[in-house]
Amino acid sequence: MKNYIKHDPWCVVEEGFYPEYNEITESLTSLGNGRMGQRGNFEEHFSGKTLLGNYVAGVFYPDKTRVGWWKNGYPRYFAKVLNACNWIGIDVKIDGETLDLGLCTVSEYSRVLNMKEGILERRFVATLSGGKQVRVHAQRFCSIADDEAGAIRYSVTALNFEGKITLTPFLDGDISNKDSNYGEKFWDEIRKETAFGEAYLEMRTKDTPFKTELFNVCTGMKFDISLNGEIVDFQCKPVKAEKYVACGTELPVKTGDEVVLYKYAVNLASLNHPTDQLLTHAKAYLQRISEKGFDQMKAEQIQAWAERWDKNDIVIEGDSDSRTDAAQQGIRFNIFQLEQTYTGEDDRLNIGPKGFTGEKYGGSTYWDTEAYCLPFYLATADQKVARNLLIYRHKHLQKAIENAANLGFKDGAALYPMVTMTGEECHNEWEITFEEIHRNGAIAYAIYDYIRHTGDEGYLAEYGLEVLIGIARFWAQRVNWSGDKQKYVMLGVTGPNEYENNVNNNFYTNYLAAWCLRYTLEGLNRHKAAVGALLQNIHFDFEVETAKWQHIVDNMYYPYDAERQVYLQQDGFLDKELLTVDDIAEHRPINQKWSWDRILRSCFIKQADVLQGLYFFEEDFDLDTIRRNFDFYEPMTVHESSLSPCVHVILAAKLGYKEKAYEMYLRTSRLDLDDYNNDTEDGLHITSMAGTWMSVIKGFAGMRIRNGALSFSPYLPDQWKGYSFRITFKGQVIRISVTPHHIEVENFSNQSVSFAVDGALIELDANGRKVLEIAQQK
Ligand code: BGC
């Protein structure tokens, strides 16, 4: 764990220069607006450790698959999140010497991501080799109001010399992906243009045999310069090189002069604009935002973030010490990053495990979206945001059917990919690609989750059932009847715990499959008439298919140990040596210290597996069953997936294991800020951030939706003095504040709302407020 990030309730603060941690800080200070994202890289040249990253949402490259041993059914390419043209770059020279924090003496350094405003600032004093000193203050943001644009204010003050400051804002399209299978570059230059104070570079993704969409991205910049607060005329020397455009400017300065460069940039993708008009659109876009100017854009940015925080902030109160600031910073950091990654405006986009903060994990969409992220967007954003996540999968249904067909399934069975951009499978490790099929169930579960939260039952007939039937058909073909057990079994799977591969009867997968069949049957019975045309189109044999599904539901096999009264993660689990994580303290993380076979043979669990099932289907199990399973599995869980701790917080909170819940909460909320897993430099764990939010809302506050009704059973972690949050439910917004003495509930909508707190029904008039006494707390 690294503790160099200062605790602060609203900001991520690097105080003092930590070049050795630069890639970590770059991840932590990433900016995004749903359309584009930018790591916290320096504008000026830096010869030290850095991972440059600018990502344009939805733009990818199909990188030819690389595997040790080819297996039938492997996908031909892995669609990679694509590192695009560097739009932030500004080369700075002081009397000819390049400003490079890797080579000069740096003092008074700070890099601060202001999460309240969505603005990144950097300040420092640099002493160059000849002793000349400059003070630099850089500010930038990815605009929410103009979501294909970013703006930079870069100020240089001459502290102790008279001479020349050369500022060369540039666009560099000669970018490599760190994550590349064959070390190739993925971009071709299409055109470039320079003019006074502006420049454009249009790049296109390289053609491949895979026939996926090619993307053009036109990056443009326009800039102004001011001297001591006044916009000035300047000489501009255009530079053009391969995949590179720049404009060199030189200003004479006296001691104390401040030169400011305002750089406006756009990244327009052919995904959103006609390819032949990218350049024209880029020029018009830049003209518009540069006329608006930096200050106006910044004011709009602050306003946009204020509106977001109004809807989704979680406020934590405690002693006014650093511990409270750490908790507050943790939760806000998670919310901030989720908001930066996905806005729900576009149903072609999704939420990558690293969002716009790094390249690891390649493609954009995993089961993480449905299993972890959806609840956050359901409860903090307009209904269309979550709906678009569902529509995204609906649009990929045909690909999921093709994917299943490639693996030998038939008659419209759908297997959604483990990882994808376009709906096509990209993952290529057989034990995951072919076997980690539980992801299919998460997509069905998300439909259920969406409907119970929004009440949009119509979604089932409109889109949901089509997806559910495809998924149900898959499960019906994937199980087989065991003559021995006289039950349906599912062989050769990998559960959420990827530290077990190719197991038989993974409890979670079997349970989820049966649930999918049951839920689809229920939906079909409710909406049979409305989906008549669909059923005809997909040749649905109602009698035969539904009878088969019901038979599976009634006869599914679930491995169970009668002595311990726990569900078994899979057949044979009890043959393992049953140790606890305390027994292997010095061996952790086992994924870095043990051979793979040793991991597979061990009892150690990467992430919630049986417990994931008990979390999803909590209503189906009594508290004692949940407790026994938690007590059995949690001590064997190493949480080497960032998705793991949150499920444990939610269950531990339900079981009254407050210390455990808080321990796990800290682990998820500050995972990246404290670099717990030593991998923040690769990018942030965006999808698990929604788990942090769930830990508070579903964990400490006990939010549940049962039979269409909202309920809470909140408690206050001992470490806090209070917390409050807002929830959007069926279009209405309520706020819950929990303190040691009371729970305050407020209705922010113009209609009355009702919900339960600790089993008692609360009815609030429009804009009403009530204070519930402590007796009603746990
Ligand atoms: C986890 C998966 C997850 C993936 C992407 C893996 O380490 O085991 O459950 O989907 O990361 O976040």
Instruction: Write the CA distances from 293 to 33, 76, 155, 302, integer angstroms.
Output: 19, 46, 16, 14
Q: What is the pLDDT of residue 472?
A: 99
Q: Among 262, 277, 311, identify where a domain stops.
A: 311
pLDDT tens, 454-471?
999 999 999 999 999 999
pLDDT confidence bin for 773, thresholds 50/70/90: confident
Residue of minimum CA distance from atom 6 in ligand 1: 641
Residue of minimum CA distance from atom 12 in ligand 1: 353
Q: Given the CA of residue 418, which atom of ligand 1 is nearest to it?
A: 10
Ranges 89-98, 274-283, 313-322, 528-537: which has the least confidence:
313-322
Residue 219 in domain: yes
364 lines ligand 1 (CB under 6 A): no
HSE on the CB side for 670, CA within 13 Å? Answer: 24
Ligand 1 centroid, distance to 120 Cα (angstroms): 29
Tell me the mean pLDDT in the region 177-192.
95
Using an 8 Å Cβ cutoff, are 731 and 748 in contact? no
Ligand 1 centroid, distance to 146 Cα (angstroms): 33
The region, left, alpha or beta by phi > 0 then psi within -120 to 50, assigned to residue 423 is left
Ligand 1 centroid, distance to 641 Cα (angstroms): 6
Using an 8 Å Cβ cutoff, are 149 and 169 in contact? no
pLDDT confidence bin for 298, thresholds 50/70/90: very high
Residue that is written with structure tokens 């898959």 in the block: 474
- Name the DSSP letter for residue 174: -
Please say if the pLDDT value at position 239 is more than 70.
yes
Tell me the mean pLDDT in the region 323-350.
95
Q: Among 311, 341, 358, identify where a domain stops.
A: 311
Q: What is the pLDDT of residue 359?
A: 93
- DSSP helix, strand, coil percent of the chain (3-state; round to 5): 35, 25, 40
Residue 90 in domain: yes
Q: Among 263, 278, 311, identify where a domain stops.
A: 311
pLDDT tens, 639-686?
999 999 999 999 999 999 999 999 999 889 999 999 988 899 999 999
Residue 760 in domain: yes
Using an 8 Å Cβ cutoff, are 115 and 336 in contact? yes
Percentage of residues of the chain with pLDDT beyond 90: 96
Catalytic residue among 498, 545, 634, 681: 498
Binding residue numbers for substrate: 367-368, 606-607
Residue of minimum CA distance from atom 3 in ligand 1: 368
Residue 560 in domain: no
495 lines ligand 1 (CB under 6 A): no
pLDDT confidence bin for 776, thresholds 50/70/90: very low
**CA triple 548-494-368, angle to 5 deg:** 95
Q: What is the pLDDT of residue 468?
A: 99
Ranges 99-113, 356-370, 433-447, 642-656: which has the least confidence:
356-370
3-state secondary structure of 722: strand
Please say if the pLDDT value at position 554 is more than 60.
yes
Claim: this prediction has a pTM higher than 0.95: yes
Q: List the one residue out of 677, 35, 98, 57 whose CA is nearest residue 421.
A: 57
Distance, CA of 143 to CA of 122 (rounded, Å): 18
Mutation choice for ligand 1 from 179, 368, 439, CB with most ligand atoms inside 8 A: 368
361 lines ligand 1 (CB under 6 A): yes
Distance, CA of 125 to CA of 707 (rounded, Å): 60
Q: What is the pLDDT of residue 497?
A: 98
Q: List the one residue out of 12, 36, 24, 54 whose CA is nearest residue 336.
A: 12
pLDDT tens, 717-736?
999 999 999 999 999 999 99
Q: What is the pLDDT of residue 321?
A: 75
Please say if the pLDDT value at position 777 is more than 70.
no
pLDDT tens, 556-584?
999 999 999 999 999 999 999 999 999 99
* Residue 498 annotated to the active site: yes
Residue 263 in domain: yes
Kindly report the three-state secondary structure assignment for every residue of 151-170.
EEEEEEEECCCCEEEEEEEE
Residue 762 in domain: yes
63 lines ligand 1 (CB under 6 A): no
Q: What is the pLDDT of residue 318?
A: 86
What CATH number is attached to the domain comprising 15? 2.70.98.40
Q: What is the pLDDT of residue 320?
A: 64
Binding residue numbers: 367-368, 606-607
pLDDT confidence bin for 362, thresholds 50/70/90: confident
pLDDT tens, 16-45?
999 999 999 999 999 999 999 999 999 999
pLDDT confidence bin for 282, thresholds 50/70/90: very high
Tell me the mean pLDDT in the region 772-778.
63
What CATH number is attached to the domain comprising 741? 2.60.420.10
3-state secondary structure of 301: helix
Tell me the mean pLDDT in the region 265-281.
98
Number of folded domains that form the chain: 2
Please say if the pLDDT value at position 400 is more than 50.
yes
Tell me the mean pLDDT in the region 189-202.
97
Number of DSSP helices (H) and strands (E) in the chain, helices first: 22, 33
What residue numbers bound the domain in which 732 lies?
Answer: 701-778
Distance, CA of 207 to CA of 188 (rounded, Å): 9
Residue of minimum CA distance from atom 5 in ligand 1: 353
Q: What is the pLDDT of residue 775?
A: 56
Element (H, E) at 778: none
688 lines ligand 1 (CB under 6 A): no
Ligand 1 centroid, distance to 366 Cα (angstroms): 8
Please say if the pLDDT value at position 778 is more than 60.
no
> What integer best gives the mean pLDDT of the chain?
96
**CA triple 89-265-47, angle to 5 deg:** 10
Residue 608 in domain: no
- Name the DSSP letter for residue 461: I
Using an 8 Å Cβ cutoff, are 702 and 715 in contact? yes
Q: What is the pLDDT of residue 346?
A: 97
Using an 8 Å Cβ cutoff, are 509 and 436 in contact? no
Residue 475 in domain: no
641 lines ligand 1 (CB under 6 A): yes
366 lines ligand 1 (CB under 6 A): yes
